[in-house]
């Protein structure tokens, strides 16, 4: 059984298990630091993964992304400041509970719902992804062209605030992925006379530039680091204010399960993500509630809905990556970057070519849930105290300098520092123009695979593109992509008219 092999691989040496637990702690603390996104945190750790065993590297990145989903809820509940965007729905019900002196109950509800949603999602990933991958491994280049097309359209159209800006973000990512060598003929192209570009643009400087430097530039522009909200906790009145009672748990269980389903379904779709999931689940739970008038004043059911759904996306959004090779979220894109760095080919064959590593990552995911549950249940308040003692004005200089030292460490090339700076500036301009940075990075990573699939399809076909119409799965994905963009454009048109 795969997951047993995974646990064997995880416990085979000290390195993978240590980095899985370390990743959980980093994710928990980093997720709880307002303003530091999980994407930035993961990108910052990528250079260190060069020096690790592939399983340890992937376990570190995966557990950081998982734990940060829960970590973000701690400052949302305690300080009315979500640590991550996906914790903003938790804040609506969590902070009023803190003001009533029930922060212990709110934090424990958050960790119970997070762990429950996360486990369901992880089990689906463990037992469902390999089954889908068996089927996906039989697909040929034309089907993959259809899948890439659909993914680019959906990711470009949905991840950004504007459809055209999102699609153009994808085009920009694809264009920059052309730099280097032709994937079929291996001839140089678009190197503009710079020898360093012959092997293409390195992934690490791009990720650090786009996900970390951009955040520092934004902080320097917005100057929000000087303000700090003081925690305003009320006084605890009853012992039950500090934990979730059995009757409360039974009352919120159906909501948690429903929200987990919403999170899993949304998480599997490329381009959507935990922010969408938590708001959909929160709204749905409020709509179904018998007492919707109490919502907004500290309803634990709201915390359960938001947290179960946002954590339920974390395992599910790896399904498109591991079955089709399509990273559907920022965390999946960064994970795919680490896989590429370690020579692990992303896509359906990963379950056979890197069986132990992939199941080892799943095992690390389960260990991560257990670890953050233990820390979160008994120690969230202390995490809150640590976070409140870290001044934001110190965080950004440190991560900025770390970026430069870390990017140099990957190849010992000053050129990579320059590339990272260029991508930081480009990313900042793109962000200010409402373009989608995750869509840009996903297209940059998938660009060579997309080009290879397109050119191989044309080699199989002598009718000049007719092969895409003759293959039903390819055609289905083309139609899905066109439908997705059509629906989004129609929605935008209606919004503009009203």
Partner 1 sequence: MKDSTVKDIGVALLILAVLIPFATGVGNIYEDPSDPGFGSRDFPKLIIFIGIFLSVILLIRSSIDIVRSGQLPKLAISSHYQITGPLTVLIAALLYVWGIVLFQYALPTLALMFFLVRYFGSRGFFRTILIPLIAVIIYFLVFFVIFGIFEEPGTILNYDSYSVARAIRKVIGME
Report residue 142: phi and psi, to 5°: -60, -40
Interface with partner 1 (CB under 8 A), residue from 1, 14, 195, 226: 226
Report which DSSP code applies to 86.
Answer: G
SS3 180: strand
**Site for partner 1 contains 182 (CB under 8 A):** yes
Map the footprint of partner 1 across residues 139-168, applying CB under 8 A: 162, 164-165, 167-168
Q: How far is the CB of 411 from partner 1 (least distance, A)?
A: 9
Stretch of residues binding partner 1 (CB under 8 A), selected from 9-17, 341-349, 405-413, 481-489: 405-413
Please, what's the largest Cα pairwise distance for the chain?
77
DSSP H helical ranges for 269-329? 274-288, 300-316, 319-324
- Give the interface segment with partner 1, choosing from 16-24, 32-40, 107-115, 188-196 (CB under 8 A): 188-196
Tell me if 171 contacts partner 1 by CB under 8 A. yes
Kindly determine how many residues on this chain lie close enough to bind partner 1 according to the rule CB under 8 A. Answer: 66
**Is residue 189 within the footprint of partner 1 (CB under 8 A)?**
yes
Q: Which of residues 418-437 bind partner 1 (CB under 8 A)?
A: 418, 421, 424-425, 428-430, 432-435
**Residues 282-341 close enough to bind partner 1 by CB under 8 A:** none
Q: How far is the CB of 116 from partner 1 (least distance, A)?
A: 37
Q: Pick the binder of partner 1 from 406, 437, 441, 442 (CB under 8 A).
A: 406
Residues 309-347 as b/e (b if ≥16 CB within 10 A, e otherwise) read bbbbbbbbbbbbbbbbbbbbbbbbbbbbbbbebbebebb
Distance of closest approach, residue 157 Cβ to partner 1, in angstroms: 13
Nearer to partner 1, 143 or 301 (CB): 143
Which contacts of 191-196 are long-range, i.e. CB under 8 A and separated by 24 or more positions?
196/413, 196/415
Least Å from the CB of residue 174 to partner 1? 5
CB of 171 to partner 1, least distance (A): 4
**Of 5-13, 34-42, 106-114, 411-419, which segment contacts partner 1 by CB under 8 A?**
411-419
User: % helix / strand / coil in the chain, to the nearest 5?
Assistant: 75, 0, 20
Report the SS3 class of residue 371.
helix
Q: Judged by CB, which is closer to partner 1: 11, or 493?
A: 493
The tokens for 293 are: 């008038």
Q: How far is residue 25's CA from residue 81's CA, in Å, rounded to a whole number?
A: 20
Give the nearer residue to partner 1 in terms of CB position, either 56 or 281.
56
Smallest separation, CB 360 to partner 1 (Å): 23
Considering only residues 449-488, where is the footprint of partner 1 by CB under 8 A?
451, 454-455, 458-459, 461-462
Q: To which H or E segment does residue 54 belong?
A: helix 54-71
- 409 sits near partner 1 (criterion: CB under 8 A): yes
- 262 lies in the binding site for partner 1 (CB under 8 A): no
The 3-state DSSP class for residue 79 equals helix
194 sits near partner 1 (criterion: CB under 8 A): no
- DSSP output for 423-489: HHHHHHHHHHTT--HHHHHHHHHHHHHHHHHHHHHHHH-SSSSTHHHHSHHHHHHHHHHHHHHHHHH
Tokens read off for 477:
């994905």
Chain positions contacting partner 1, by CB under 8 A: 48, 51, 162, 164-165, 167-168, 171-172, 174-176, 178, 182, 184-185, 187, 189-190, 192, 213, 216-223, 225-226, 391, 393-394, 396-398, 400-402, 404-406, 408-409, 412, 414, 417-418, 421, 424-425, 428-430, 432-435, 451, 454-455, 458-459, 461-462
């Amino acid at each position: 059984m795969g997951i047993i092999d995974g646990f064997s691989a995880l416990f085979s040496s000290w390195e993978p298990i240590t980095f899985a637990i370390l990743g959980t702690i980093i994710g928990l603390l980093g997720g709880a630091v307002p303003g530091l996104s999980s994407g930035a945190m993961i990108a910052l750790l990528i250079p260190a993964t060069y020096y690790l065993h592939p399983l340890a590297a992937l376990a570190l990145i995966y557990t950081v992304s998982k734990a940060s989903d829960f970590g973000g809820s701690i400052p949302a509940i305690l300080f009315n400041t979500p640590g991550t965007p996906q914790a903003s729905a938790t804040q609506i019900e969590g902070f009023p509970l803190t003001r009533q002196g029930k922060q212990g109950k709110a934090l424990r509800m958050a960790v119970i719902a997070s762990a429950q949603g996360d486990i369901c999602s992880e089990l689906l990933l463990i037992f469902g992804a390999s089954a889908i991958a068996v089927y996906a491994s039989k697909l040929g280049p034309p089907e993959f062209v259809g899948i890439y097309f659909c993914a680019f359209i959906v990711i470009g159209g949905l991840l950004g605030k504007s459809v055209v800006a999102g699609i153009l973000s994808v085009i920009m990512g694809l264009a920059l992925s052309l730099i280097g060598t032709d994937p079929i003929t291996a001839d140089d192209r678009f190197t503009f006379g710079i020898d360093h570009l012959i092997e293409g643009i390195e992934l690490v400087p791009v990720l650090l530039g786009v996900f970390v430097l951009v955040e520092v530039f934004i902080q320097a522009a917005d100057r929000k680091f000087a303000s700090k909200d003081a925690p305003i906790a009320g006084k605890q009145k009853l012992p039950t204010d500090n934990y979730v009672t059995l009757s409360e748990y039974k009352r919120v269980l159906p909501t948690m399960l429903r929200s987990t389903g919403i999170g899993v379904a949304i998480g599997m779709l490329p381009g959507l993500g935990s922010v969408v999931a938590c708001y959909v689940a929160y709204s749905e739970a409020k709509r179904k509630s018998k007492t919707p008038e109490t919502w907004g004043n500290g309803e634990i059911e709201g915390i359960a809905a938001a947290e179960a759904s946002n954590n339920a996306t974390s395992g599910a959004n790896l399904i498109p990556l591991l079955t089709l090779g399509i990273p559907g979220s920022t965390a999946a894109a960064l994970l795919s970057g680490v896989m590429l760095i370690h020579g692990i080919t992303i896509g359906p064959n990963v379950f056979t070519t890197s069986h132990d590593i992939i199941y080892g990552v799943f095992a690390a995911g389960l260990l991560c849930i257990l670890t953050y549950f233990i820390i979160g249940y008994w120690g969230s308040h202390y995490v809150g105290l640590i976070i409140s003692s870290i001044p934001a004005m110190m965080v950004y200089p440190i991560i900025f300098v770390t970026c430069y030292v870390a990017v140099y460490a990957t190849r010992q090339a000053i050129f990579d520092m320059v590339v990272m700076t260029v991508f930081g500036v480009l990313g900042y301009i793109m962000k200010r123009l409402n373009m989608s940075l995750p869509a840009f990075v996903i297209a940059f990573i998938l660009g060579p695979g997309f080009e290879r699939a397109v050119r191989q399809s044309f080699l199989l076909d002598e009718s000049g593109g007719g092969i895409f119409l003759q293959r039903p799965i390819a055609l289905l994905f083309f139609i899905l992509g066109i439908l997705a963009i059509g629906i989004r454009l129609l929605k935008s048109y209606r919004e503009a008219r009203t």
